[in-house]
Amino acid sequence: MTKISNHGTVDSTRNKQSGPTWKHLLTSGFLALAAMATGAGCGGGASIAQSTAAAQRGEFDVDECAALVGQCTMLSHQAARAGRFDDAVRFGQSGCYHSSAEACEAARDVYGSDAVVYVNLATATERSLQLCDRGNEWACFDLGNIYAYGPPTIRSVQSALGYLERACEDGVASACAEAAKQRQGQDASPALVVDLIEQSCLLGDPVACTDAARAYFVDNEIPADAGRAWEYAIRACDQDSSAVVPEACWMAGLLRTNGDGVQQDQQDGRGLMSQACDGGWIDACYELGTMQHGGVGGRVDTQGAAESFTSACSGVRIVPAACTTLGMLYFDGTGVATDAESGVEFLQQGCANGDARGCSLLAGLFEQGVVVEASPSHALAYYVLACQAGGADDCSTAGAMFYGGTGAEADTSRAMDLFEIACLNGSMNGCYNLAALFDRGDATPPYAAYTQELYRQACEGGYERACEFVR
């Protein structure tokens, strides 16, 4: 008669994180100010009245003015999508034309809520139409924005796309990126959207390069292509400090470290990861900590690893696995002073945010009474959480506890469900325990026909104990 194992082997490997989809593209708000030059836009810092009078006298080229405005608008868009909102507002204000200084200043109050400010819209539209017809690509870009974000009475996606794609063809990087956003909203094919983003990248928009790299980084709506992902990621990362997109450096670092799409160079990969972490991309901080702790791409640096994991476990968004790893460092006193209480807190933070390993380690502490007071009910609760977070072996362990009435009343039905989940998700311990439950006749109705199949699956999967029962 087969005895069910009470403790599965806990899987301590890190869960793989799924990559972003192509739809996660141009994420930040956008400021289009359709008015005439004040300050840096046109007229060399002259007042609106002076600029207008100069225009009437023909003392400066209106086409040149529009080009300056369009460049300011482009810089504003790029800064916004990169999260540099102060720069976005500054460039947006410099690009105000046909407006007043007060209207530009008012943009500060509405910028963060995706608001779009249009001043003297009829005049701006008329002037932009004239300039676009005369071949000014920046005016076409502004028209596209007017039709994309103007009042509902004039809003037209098709008109917006027409002008944006015209400006894109004439070399305006942000026009390509905005056209991609509009096409995405029309459920265009992923390939068409990515093609527009690639054009924007090749025209010099580092944010678009990051978007293109992201699209090719994982196999999703378009086939993954590590070579193209590297090409675009390194373009966005290899910029001056004000234009670098940290996410791009993170992707480039992973590709370089693993030799995917580019020759492997772990030292360079570690440097790219450090650059991304310094820029605030927390996934890179986690990867950098792992490399520092394991001596990948350079010397072992346990103190640096602890600092990197701390960065990844702080702030509004965190990497749960980093919190769990940091907790283990505090238990071991690796790179930090030994502090079991802090270790438990970081494990709890990792578990609370969905890291199966953090939940599983906490379950083990409560099961064995290490650092915390022994509590079978707490142990079971954490094993269930670990199971829900994707820990297949933890599902089997929780099932065994329900079967034996450890930490809760015995519940064969719940145990069977957990064993099945474990087995379906690759736990050979779960397959073995499910077979053992059927073998004992504890399941209703009987599943004798499946018993041998499950024993064989567990045996072939490397769970040697199951091999004893294969006939």
pLDDT of residue 51: 41
**Tokens at residue 414, please?**
């719940």
Rounded distance between C-alpha atoms, residue 220 and residue 210, angstroms: 16
46-53: long-range contacts, CB 8 A cutoff, minimum separation 24: 48/99, 48/100, 48/101
Q: State the chain's mean pLDDT as an integer.
A: 80
* Cβ neighbours for 245, distance < 8 A, ≥ 6 positions apart: 82, 206, 207, 209, 210, 236, 237, 239, 279
For residues 165, 125, 138 and 144, what is the CA-based torsion angle, rounded to 10 degrees?
-20
Rounded distance between C-alpha atoms, residue 239 and residue 251, angstroms: 15
**Closest Cα partner for 386 from 400, 377, 398?**
398
Would residue 420 count as lying in a domain? no
Q: Does residue 114 have a pLDDT over 60?
A: no
**Closest Cα partner for 226 from 210, 214, 242, 235?**
214
Would residue 369 count as lying in a domain? no
pLDDT of residue 4: 36
pLDDT of residue 146: 84
Considering its fold, how many domains does the chain have in total? 1
**Mean pLDDT calculated for residue range 344-368:** 97
pLDDT of residue 31: 29
Q: How confident is the model at residue 39 (pLDDT cuts 50, 70, 90)?
A: very low
Report the share of the chain in percent with pLDDT over 90. 59
Q: Does residue 162 have a pLDDT over 90?
A: yes
Q: Name the phi and psi angles at 36, rounded to 5.
A: -105, 175
Would residue 397 count as lying in a domain? no
Q: Does residue 73 have a pLDDT over 80?
A: no
Report the share of the chain in percent with pLDDT over 70. 72
**Mean pLDDT calculated for residue range 271-287:** 96
pLDDT of residue 237: 94
pLDDT of residue 443: 67
Handedness of CA 299, 300, 301, 307 (dihedral sign): positive
Q: How confident is the model at residue 76 (pLDDT cuts 50, 70, 90)?
A: low
Would residue 206 count as lying in a domain? no
pLDDT of residue 6: 33
Rounded distance between C-alpha atoms, residue 279 and residue 287, angstroms: 14
Q: How confident is the model at residue 442 (pLDDT cuts 50, 70, 90)?
A: confident
Residue reference for tokens 């030292």: 267
pLDDT of residue 62: 43
Q: Does residue 447 have a pLDDT over 50?
A: yes
Q: Is 133 helix (H, G, I), strand (E, B) or coil?
A: helix
**Mean pLDDT calculated for residue range 15-24:** 28
Domain ranges, residue 129: 20-186
**Mean pLDDT calculated for residue range 278-289:** 96
Please give the model's pTM, rounded to 2 decimal places: 0.75
pLDDT of residue 219: 82
Q: Does residue 49 have a pLDDT over 50?
A: no
Would residue 152 count as lying in a domain? yes
pLDDT of residue 315: 86
pLDDT of residue 258: 97
**Mean pLDDT calculated for residue range 96-110:** 35
Would residue 58 count as lying in a domain? yes
**Mean pLDDT calculated for residue range 45-74:** 46
**Tokens at residue 12, please?**
């301590």
Q: How confident is the model at residue 399 (pLDDT cuts 50, 70, 90)?
A: very high
pLDDT of residue 347: 98
Q: How many CB atoms lie within 10 A of CB 376?
A: 14
Q: Do residues 383 and 415 lie in contact, with contact meaning Cβ atoms separated by under 8 Å?
A: no
**Mean pLDDT calculated for residue range 343-353:** 97
Q: What is the pLDDT of residues 203-245, one digit of tens each?
A: 999 999 999 999 999 888 899 999 999 999 999 998 776 678 9
Q: Name the phi and psi angles at 34, rounded to 5.
A: -95, 95
**Mean pLDDT calculated for residue range 304-316:** 96
Q: Is 307 helix (H, G, I), strand (E, B) or coil?
A: helix
Which residues are paired to 34 by β-bridges? 118
Would residue 34 count as lying in a domain? yes
Rounded distance between C-alpha atoms, residue 349 and residue 394, angstroms: 18
Would residue 129 count as lying in a domain? yes
Question: Among 15-29, 92-106, 144-158, which is the least confidently predicted range?
Answer: 15-29
Q: Do residues 313 and 349 lie in contact, with contact meaning Cβ atoms separated by under 8 Å?
A: yes
